[in-house]
Structure 1
Amino acid sequence: MTLTSRLIDPSDRRSMESVRALVADAERADGTSPISDQAMLAASRGTRALVAFDDTDIDTDGDAASDPSAGSQNPLAVGVFGEGELDLVVRPDVRGAGVGSAALAHLLAEADRAAPEALRAWAHGENPAASALLRVAGFAPVRTLYRLALDPARLSAAVAEARAMPSDFRLELFDPANHEHAESWVRVNAAAFADHPEQGGVTDADFAALRAEHWFDPEDLILARDESNGSLAGYTWIKTVRAGDLVEAELYVLGVDPVYAGRGLGAALLGETLRRMSEHRPTRITLYVDGSNEHALALYTRAGFTVDTVSTQWLRNNG
C-alpha cells in the first residue's frame, strides 16, 4: 500500500482536532489510549514530529475517494516520533488493510534519518497486531506498563482502610498563581522519578502545558508539606475526565521526595487520592504503574487495585 504522509503543524487547529478524534476512536475501540499523554504533549509543543497518513484511493466511508480534502479531516493513521520514541495509531475501520505496516515503514525511515540510534515504541494494551508489526521491524520487548483499576464499589472501603496522613505533614491544594508551588512540584517530581524515563524528565514548560489541558483541576493536585520547614515532601495528582454519565478518575501521578522515603507518606497520599476521587463519584478508577516498580504495585494491590491492561515497550537497537 502507498500512503500519502503529511507533517502536521501543532498550531493547525483543524488538523489537531482530526488527530484527537482518531485517537479517541481508537481508545473507544481498544479500551486504552493508543498514544501516551507524554507523546501527545511533545507533539503539541513541537518537540516530536506528528505525521498524518492519507490514501484517497481507499473509500472507507464514501467520502475519501470523492473528496481529496477528506483525508486532512479524517486521516487513516497518525504517527509521532522524536526524542528516541515512536507511536502509531491506525483508524479502527481501516485496520487489516496494510495501513499500519506502510505507516510504520515511513516512520522508521524518517526516525532513522533524524537519529539512527536506538528507538523505542509502545504497543498499548493487548495488541497482537502492533506487537507483530514491531517484531517484524526488528524490535524486541523491554518494558511493561500496567494499567490498574479499582472497582468503584470498593472505593468507600478503600478510603476507610487507607493510612492516615502522618502528623508531621500538612496538606494544601495546588495554587496556579503561586510560582513556588510549580517550582517545588517540578523539583520533587524530578527527584521522585529520577530513574523513570518519562516522568522524571518533566520540565517547567511541560508542567505548564499539562496544566493547560482541558481536564486539569487545581483541586485535584494535592501537595504534602513538611510541617517543620514547609518544604514540599510529596504530592498526588488526579486526572478526572467526564463524558456524559461516565466519570473516569485516574491517579495521574503520585510522587514522594526520596528524602521522606520510609515514613508512610506514599500510602497516606494514596488515601488522600481515594478520598478526593470519591467526591467525583467516579464510574471508573484507574492508574498506570511500571511493571518493574514492585513497591508501588504492592501499595496499589493492597488498596484493591487489579491489573486491567498490560502495555509493552519495544526497543530496536541499531547499534
Structure 2
Amino acid sequence: MQAENLSVSEGTAGVARPILDRAEQADGNSPVSDQALLAAGQGQRALLVFTEAEGAAPVAVGIVGQGELDLVVDPASRGKGIGTAALRILLDTPAAREPAPGGSTGPLAWAHGDNPTAEALLRGAGFEAVRSLYRMALDPALLPALPADPFDTPLPAGFELRTFDAAAPDDDARAWVRVNARAFASHPEQGRVTLEDFALMRAEPWFDPADLFLLRAADTGRTAGFTWVKTLRDGAAPETELYVIGVDPDFAGAGLGRALLTVTLARMAQHRPGRVTLYVDGDNARAVRMYEAAGFTIDSRSTQWRGPQVSE
C-alpha cells in the first residue's frame, strides 16, 4: 500500500517506540495515549509503520481501530507531506471504519498540546473539534512537606485506606475495574478498561503497587474509590502523574474525591519529584476546580477531533 511514495506495513511497539520518544521530546507531550498502545498490544487496533522506501527507517507511526486513530510523524521527517499521505492511508484502512466509542460514526483523533500543524492536517481532512483535554501541572514545592504520609490523611468517617495487594491481586483487580467502570461510565476511554487491560497496565515498568490506593467502606469492605500515581524515573528526578482517581457514584458527595487527592499529593511528595502533572477533560469543570484549589494550573490543552464517516 503506497501514497506519494510512502509505504506502510504492520509494526510493533518496539519499532514504534523510538519515534514516539523523539516526538514527545520535541513536542513536550506524549503523542499517543496509554490506552491506544495497550489496545495495539492486544491486537485490538492496528499498529502501522510508514517508510519512504522499502527497507528504510520508519518516518511515521499510526495506530487505528475501535473508532480512533493516532498518527505520529518523526520530528526529523516533518514538513515533507508525510503526515498528509499517512493520514490518507490510515483513513483507507478497514480499521478506520470501525464505530467510534458510543456507536457514533467518524474516526476520532487527538492533536496533543498546542499543535497548529496537526490541527490544520485534521481540519483539511474534514475533521471537526469535539473535545478538549487539559494537562495540569503543580509546582513540586507545593506538595506536602516531608515526612508526608498518605495514611495520615483524614478520611471521612467509615472508610479505610490501603494499597493494592500485589501478592493476591485478583480481588483487588476486580474491585478496581468495577469501580473504574462505574466512576467513568460516560468516559469514552477510561470507562472501557477491562481486567485484561488492567493486568497489562500493571505489567508496565513504571507500575508500583504502593502507588495505587484503594478506599473501602469499613462496614462492608466494599471498594468506594481509588487513586493511582504513575511515577517515571528516567531523569535525574522522578516525574509523578495523577494517573487516575475515581469514586463509585454510590459514594458521591461524601468527600472521598478530595480525601483521595490529599492521599495522592502525600504519596507524590514521598517520591521527591521534579515534575507533577495530571490530565482532565476540559468540560469537567468540577474536577478542574478541585485541582486548581490544590494548586494545579493548566499547562497545555489537547483537542480531540472527529472525522467524516469513512465509506465502505
How many residues align? The count is 298
SS in 2 for 1:298: helix
What one-letter code is carried by the residue in structure 2 that aligns with 1:89?
V
What one-letter code is carried by the residue in structure 1 that aligns with 2:238?
V
State the partner residue of 1:141.
Answer: 129
User: Which residue, out of 43, 47, 61, partners 2:44?
Assistant: 47
Q: Is the 8 A contact 1:84 1:119 kept in 2?
A: yes
The alignment status of 1:7 with 2:10, answered yes or no, reads yes
The alignment status of 1:169 with 2:159, answered yes or no, reads yes
The alignment status of 1:80 with 2:66, answered yes or no, reads no
The CA distance in 2 between the partners of 1:20 and 1:139, in whole Å, is 27
User: Which residue, out of 293, 302, 305, partners 1:314?
Assistant: 305
The CA distance in 2 between the partners of 1:79 and 1:167, in whole Å, is 49
Identity %: 54
The alignment status of 1:238 with 2:238, answered yes or no, reads no
What one-letter code is carried by the residue in structure 2 that aligns with 1:256?
V
CA distances 1:253-291 after superposition (whole Å, capped 9, x unpaired): 000000110011000000000001111110000000001
State the partner residue of 2:102.
Answer: none
Report deviation, 1:165.
1.6
CA distance 1:157–1:281, shift in 2 (3 Å): closer
CA distances 1:211-255 after superposition (whole Å, capped 9, x unpaired): 111111111000001011110000000100011303110000000
Q: Is the 8 A contact 2:216 2:222 kept in 1?
A: yes
Report deviation, 1:187.
0.4
* CA RMSD, Structure 1 to Structure 2 (Å): 1.9
CA distance 1:112–1:221, shift in 2 (3 Å): closer
- Runs of 5+ in structure 2 lacking a partner? 100-104
Q: Note the 1:147-166 alignment, pairs <5 A.
A: 147-156=135-144, 164-166=154-156
The alignment status of 1:272 with 2:275, answered yes or no, reads no
State the partner residue of 1:65.
Answer: none
Q: Note the 1:275-294 alignment, pairs <5 A.
A: 275-294=266-285
Q: Is the 8 A contact 1:81 1:111 kept in 2?
A: no
User: Which residue, out of 102, 113, 128, partners 2:116?
Assistant: 128
User: Which residue, out of 297, 309, 317, partners 2:288?
Assistant: 297
State the partner residue of 2:18.
Answer: 21
CA distances 1:104-127 after superposition (whole Å, capped 9, x unpaired): 010011157743832111101111
SS in 2 for 1:156: coil
Q: Is the 8 A contact 2:96 2:107 kept in 1?
A: no
TM-score under structure 2 length normalisation: 0.91
The CA distance in 1 between the partners of 2:114 and 2:136, in whole Å, is 14
Report deviation, 1:20.
1.0
The CA distance in 2 between the partners of 1:30 and 1:157, in whole Å, is 32
What one-letter code is carried by the residue in structure 1 that aligns with 2:31?
P
The CA distance in 2 between the partners of 1:150 and 1:113, in whole Å, is 37
TM-score under structure 1 length normalisation: 0.89
State the partner residue of 1:250.
Answer: 241
- Runs of 5+ in structure 1 lacking a partner? 9-14, 57-67
User: Which residue, out of 75, 90, 94, partners 1:107?
Assistant: 90
Which contiguous aligned blocks of 4+ residues in structure 1 show a shift greater than 3 angstroms? 111-117, 157-160
The CA distance in 2 between the partners of 1:101 and 1:80, in whole Å, is 15
